[in-house]
Structure 1
Amino acid sequence: MNTTTNWNLQGSYFEACNCETACPCVWLQPPSEGNCKLLVAWHIDSGYLNSEKLDGLNVALACYSPGHMKEGNWQAALYVDERATDAQFDAITQIFAGKLGGHPAILMGFVTEVWGIKKVKIDYQEQGNKRQLIIPDIAQATIESIQGIKGGDATIDNPPLCVVPSHPAVVAKSSQYEYHDYDKAWKFTERNGYYSPFTYQP
């Protein structure tokens, strides 16, 4: 059995949820509405698992927390770029399912139910201070950063809970958020978003 976990992912990410801006969950406070409906997207600029290259692929995660996020019991679904080969799909699934350590393992440690894992078309877009995710017939989210008092983007660094600990998160607000899959139907606007570069490794 191959136990090597030589992997690294670098790229950009963004997330949107149903909390008010900025989401209190990163400070280990209760979600604004008592639960969290989270959608996260990653674009891998460069990445690998052992000899398997993962450059240019997109990944998304839908996650539901029924209460305080630090208490766990999250439910989640993973979406992998349809352009991934079977070997790339397997590598991404292992990493983002938390089987190979690193920050994904910490996040997935809160998940108690996985709705499913599937290959889909994922369109990840960056335009200035806007980010957009489109998964046809499943999800669509658009967020735009909030400007800080000194100019530039408002950011949060080193909170106790976050999707990406490697970089400060730009605070954003959604203009659109829709998710329809696994008997879930979420739709709202003007709620929280974050984005930043990311680095994951064991």
Structure 2
Amino acid sequence: MTDRWQLEGDYVEACNCDVTCQCIWLEPPDDDVCTVSLAWHIRDGKYGDVDLSGLSVGMLIVTEAGVMFDPDTGWDVVLIIDEAADEDQRAALEDIYFGRAGGIFAPVSDTHIESAEVATVPVTFDRDGADFAVEMGDTVSMEVIGKTGFNEELGTISPHPLTKSREMQTGKSTTATVSYGDEFSWDVSENNSYLGDFELTNA
């Protein structure tokens, strides 16, 4: 029987779409493929008896051509785990993010993931309101600012699958670079970002 897990904290992503991620509306992304870096900082989290609070996790995704969430679209994935995690914490995070422990990542893993790797690197994750700065070793560099509309309020997007409320805030990357081998190597700075608080569980 799978242990219960729950995570909550801060989330940011930066992708290659120019203005907004088309995947939310089940449309093909810009250039017909998605290249995206995702980052979570777990303020409070547990997997069974394993405390995950204070750790950060990243994920790099490159998709085949087409709609990201189409069942026929495959993904290649790198899971990045904070080197501060001990052996039990690393195992728990792999179980969660590779879908072996249920929750939102289970159908994603079953349907889309064609190849998956794990990298362990030092991670710094800083947030000041709607401004984020994430460094994951020499692999990922993300700086993101929240974007406001004509009413001077931060924009929102829904439905976003990676939080219980289904709502994220809109942003723009000022830096969004990835360097992990030939396949996971890109600079999508000055493009779309989503950000905000997240809450996920398999309960």
TM-score by length of 1: 0.92
**Mapping of 1:1-202 within 5 angstroms?**
3-67=1-65, 68-71=67-70, 72-158=73-159, 162-183=161-182, 184-202=184-202
Partners of 1:57 and 1:83 within 8 A in 2: yes
Q: CA deviation at 1:200?
A: 1.0
Cα distance, 1:124 vs structure 2: 0.9
Cα deviations by residue, 1:79-108 (Å, 9 ceiling, x for unpaired): 111010100000011001111111122333
Q: Which amino acid aligns with 1:48?
A: K
Cα pair distance change 1:107/1:132, threshold 3 Å: farther
**Alpha-carbon offset, residue 64 of structure 1:** 0.5
Unpaired runs of at least 5, structure 2: none
Rounded Cα–Cα distance in structure 1 between residues aligned with 2:129 and 2:5: 29
User: Percent identity at matched positions?
Assistant: 28
3-state SS of the aligned residue for 2:18? coil
In 1, Cα distance between the equivalents of 2:164 and 2:107?
A: 11
Query: What amino acid is the match of 2:87?
Result: D
SS in 1 for 2:91: helix
Tell me if the contact between 2:130 and 2:195 (Cα under 8 Å) persists in the aligned partners: no
User: Please, which moves more after superposition, 84-93 or 147-156?
Assistant: 147-156
* 8 Å Cα contact 1:107/1:163 also seen in 2: no
User: Once superposed, which parts of structure 1, at least 4 consecutive aligned residues long, lie more than 6 Å away?
Assistant: none
Spell out, residue by residue over 1:31-67, the C-alpha distance to the aligned partner (whole angstroms, 9 max, x if none): 0111110100000011111111100000000001122
CA distance in structure 2 between the aligned counterparts of 1:43 and 1:19, rounded to whole angstroms:
23
TM-superposed CA distance for 1:141, in Å, is 1.1
Separation in structure 2 between the aligned mates of residue 22 and residue 89 of structure 1, nearest angstrom: 32
Moved more, 103-112 or 146-155: 103-112
Alignment RMSD (CA, Å): 1.5
For 1:107 and 1:14, the matched residues in 2 are separated by: 19
Query: How far apart in 2 are the matches of 1:52 and 1:149?
Result: 45
